[in-house]
Amino acid sequence: MDRFLANYRLAVVSKYIKKDEVILDLGCGVQHYLLTRFRDKFKLGFGLDYDIEDCQEVNLALINYKYQGNLPLKENFFDKVFLLAVLEHIETKDIGTLFWELSRILKVKGRIIITTPTPQCKAVLEFIAFKLKLVAPEEVTDHKHYYVAKEICELAGASGLKVIYSKLFQFGLNSLYVLEK
């Protein structure tokens, strides 16, 4: 089920990857699905996650890193940053700083693409994780917060970003936000 959900998210965000861009998949996971599937669609891709081993290939770099208030990346470097099912796993006290860091590493007019479950999704995720055992329970118990649009807009505005697009998908259980610097 985890792979199905990941593939669904990839289908939703694939149109945001362009050929000549430098992208970051923050929280890419050990599978780094986005970077692997769309490797031929971007110029250079970086993946950061505490669950991966450092690796460098032709147009891909994976970096073992656990977010602790800063990102070990250059200013104004990325065209796009992807956070796919990641935001809900970060401590709420660190979210404001994370948005500032994302703004710092983005080029002018760069974009952040976020997918995150809505508050309505909590009960569904708990049911499919704990009762049906279709999703890893540790992933669900690690969720710190379920965000609503108002919170994302406030976080974006406070860090010099603007929400330029948002929509619900998967029957309103997940949300997509596109932010621009």
Task: Indicate the pLDDT class of residue 95, thresholds 50, 70 and 90.
Answer: very high
Residues in the chain: 181
Q: For the residues 18-46, what does the mean pLDDT come to? A: 95
Whether the CB-CB separation of 89 and 144 falls below 8 Å is answered with yes
Q: For the residues 128-153, what does the mean pLDDT come to? A: 95
Contact residues for 87 (Cβ-Cβ < 8 A; gap 6+): 95, 114, 116, 147
Task: Indicate the pLDDT class of residue 149, thresholds 50, 70 and 90.
Answer: very high
Task: Indicate the pLDDT class of residue 58, thresholds 50, 70 and 90.
Answer: confident
Amino acid 8: pLDDT: 87
Amino acid 126: pLDDT: 95
State the first-to-last Cα distance of the chain, in angstroms, to the nearest integer.
34
Task: Indicate the pLDDT class of residue 1, thresholds 50, 70 and 90.
Answer: low
**Token duo for residue 94:** 């660190």
How many Cβ atoms sit within 10 Å of the Cβ of residue 22?
18
Q: For the residues 63-73, what does the mean pLDDT come to? A: 93
Amino acid 117: pLDDT: 97
Pairwise CA distance, residues 18 & 155, whole Å: 26
User: How many degrees, rounded to 5, is the angle at CA 37 between CA 102 and CA 53?
Assistant: 65
Mean residue pLDDT of the chain comes to 95
Which stretches of the chain are DSSP H helices? 2-13, 33-37, 92-105, 121-126, 137-141, 149-158
Global confidence as pTM: 0.95
